Amino acid sequence: MVSKNYTINDIPKLFNGKKFAELKIAANDILKNDPENPDALNALALSYRNLGDSTKAKETFIKLVNLGPSKDYIFSNAGNLFYDLGNISQALQCHKHALKLNPNNLNSLNQIGLALSNQGNDEEAIKYYSKSISINKNIEASYDNLGNSLRNLQRYKEAADAYEKSNKVLSRCNQLECFYLLGEKELFYKKLDNLNKDNISHPLAASLSSHASIRYNEKDTHNFCNSPFEYIKKYDLLKDNKINDKMIENFFRVINKLGISKKEQSLLSNGYQSSGNIFLIDNPAIQDIRAIIETQINLYRSNSDSKATFISNWPKNYTLYGWLIIMTDGGSLSGHMHKEGWLSGSLYLSRPSRALNNDGDIVFSLHGSNYPTEEKFFENKIVNIERGNIVLFPSSLFHSTLPFNSKEKRVTLAFDIIPKV
């Protein structure tokens, strides 16, 4: 594309039109004559981010923030990137500075809440979401976030009220979960029927419908994946020469050099989880692993029976979101499912030696997330895993890990494909 005489007035139109390649050219064109122009640097960083170059986006935002601009949205944009990259402390610093410049910055109010929730401080997070709502009662994300923190605190009735203010599918499913946990059977099935009538397929609704069918002896009515155990697939990437020791070593070298922020994870014992999407890190060692995972996901889809809705309605566009789970001696992860995913998976990068047959293995089940059981039996399946294995499964399935006894670490690269809406 031939450069023209761009001005700062061209920036909003290019950004809003999602013309990010041209936005990058325009920003650089302006910076030739005004190398510290804050709006041009902000546009350049955003163009890098949307073109998938998170490294240059981060470098540009750091340069920009250090210049001390007076515009709150610049710090807010920088905070968004740092949060997505898992740099929670940097994200908080940027968003708090944005609020000093503009106490009514809705994005920063919500992002600070998310960061605090990420750290396990939902009580404090609620204050920021509530302030955002007091400023503008029409932002669905504020109600979604508020509901999530209330849900984390087991304040299910209040959470359901918050989710009621949002029309997002996930919010409707989160509200469904609240009614289920409250034991509101009639209201639960009313809301589930509404989802079904709207032809909505969602992993959380599927988990709840399946669980409720056993708990209440009712028909499982939600069409997502009614035979989920059939869709658990394990592949040995080391044996198939799709991954090798050198690639795993390079991956660990990059992660150890960069360092990772830890996310509060109440379900995890003797271990920790990384923050942010690890696949946003623009490094060959990480992107090589990502490419292998994406190839395996495509193979899984093409070889799976399309009778399941989650295969036949495979999302046209999705984000691959990944994080590390690192466990030490005695480590385990309690039963849960991935409500924002569609397909979930785990790549085992390090696996301790077994003291017992199933030490450190993964368990799939129709039960989890502290749902009431009424002393009913819920089917489960143990899958033995080894270093270099990758396991793919519908996001609707609950899964947990068995504890292990070893001085070796258990390191898993977990991931979801998250549909873009």
pLDDT at 271: 93
CATH code for residues 228-419: 2.60.120.620
Question: Most confidently modeled of 65-79, 254-268, 348-362?
Answer: 65-79
Contact at 8 Å (CB) between 282 and 55?
yes
User: Mean pLDDT across the stretch 46-75?
Assistant: 93
Predicted TM-score (pTM) of the model is 0.90
- Confidence band, pLDDT 50/70/90 cuts, at residue 60: very high
Backbone angles phi, psi at 190, to 5 degrees: -65, -45
- pLDDT over 70 for what percent of the chain? 99
Q: Does 37 have pLDDT greater than 60?
A: yes
Q: Mean pLDDT lowest for which of 65-79, 168-182, 230-244, 368-382?
A: 368-382
Q: Does 2 have pLDDT greater than 70?
A: no
Residue 242's CB: how many other CB atoms inside 10 A? 17
pLDDT at 32: 94
Q: Where are the domains of the chain?
A: 228-419
pLDDT at 3: 55
User: Mean pLDDT across the stretch 306-329?
Assistant: 95
pLDDT at 54: 86
| Token representation of residue 207 | 């988990």
- Confidence band, pLDDT 50/70/90 cuts, at residue 153: very high
- pLDDT over 90 for what percent of the chain? 87
pLDDT at 15: 94
User: Mean pLDDT across the stretch 159-180?
Assistant: 97
Q: Does 354 have pLDDT greater than 90?
A: no
Predicted confidence (pLDDT) per residue in 264-282, tens digit = 788 999 999 998 899 988 8
Burial tier of 241 (Cβ tally within 10 Å: 0-12, 13-18, 19+): exposed
User: Mean pLDDT across the stretch 289-318?
Assistant: 96
- The rounded mean pLDDT for the chain is 94
pLDDT at 367: 95
- Confidence band, pLDDT 50/70/90 cuts, at residue 374: confident
Q: Mean pLDDT lowest for which of 165-169, 251-255, 367-371, 376-380?
A: 367-371
User: Mean pLDDT across the stretch 4-29?
Assistant: 93
Q: Does 207 have pLDDT greater than 70?
A: yes
pLDDT at 259: 75
